[in-house]
Amino acid sequence: MTHLPCFRMYYGTEFVCKALDKWAYEHGVTMDFSRPGKPTDNALIESFNGSFRDECLNTHCFLSLDDARQKIEQWRRDYNRYRPHSSLGNKTPEEFVQATCQSRKSLLLTGAGIG
């Protein structure tokens, strides 16, 4: 069974148009609109959008498109590498990956979980 790409998006006017509908149909993409007034339909992106807005967009002035790209990329790198995340036990993504790899290595070495 082949899984077609599915994109969840807001039910905003910018996404409700014949051109987008035609493009999605032609490319085998299913569009899944979140319900109006229900941000919990996609809580993960709502959390990310809040962090992005508070920590990047609201704290910088963008002087040009290139300036915006540079500042946003710098924020993205910090967010993905060095910033602790509560969902990762207040570890940075790099710390979380290292701890997870160590845990798995320990399980393999001790034979834990092998029936």
Q: Does residue 4 sit within a domain?
A: yes
pTM: 0.53
Q: Does residue 15 sit within a domain?
A: yes
Q: Which residue from 35, 68, 33 is spatially nearest to 52, judged by alpha carbons? A: 68
H or E element at residue 21: helix 18-26
More confident residue, 78 or 44: 78
More confident residue, 26 or 41: 26
Burial class (CB in 10 A: 0-12, 13-18, 19+), 112: exposed
For residue 16, which phi and psi values (nearest 5 degrees)? -105, 90
Q: What pLDDT band is residue 67 in, cutting at 50, 70 and 90?
A: very high
Average pLDDT of the chain is 79
Tell me, what's the pLDDT at 55?
A: 93
Q: Does residue 18 sit within a domain?
A: yes
Q: Does residue 43 sit within a domain?
A: no
pLDDT digits (tens, 9 = 90+) for 5-15: 555 555 555 55
Q: Does residue 28 sit within a domain?
A: yes
d(CA 20, CA 12): 12
Q: Which residue from 25, 24, 31 is spatially nearest to 9, judged by alpha carbons? A: 31
Range of the structural domain that residue 24 is part of: 1-37
Whether pLDDT at 70 is above 70: yes
Total domains in the fold of the chain:
1
Q: Does residue 58 sit within a domain?
A: no
Q: Does residue 22 sit within a domain?
A: yes
Instruction: Provide the CA 51 distance to its chain's centre, in angstroms.
Output: 11
Ramachandran bin of 13, using left for φ above 0, alpha for ψ from -120 to 50, beta for the remaining angles? alpha
More confident residue, 2 or 43: 43
Tell me, what's the pLDDT at 52?
A: 92
Q: Does residue 86 sit within a domain?
A: no
Give the range among 16-20, 70-74, 102-106 with minimum mean pLDDT: 16-20
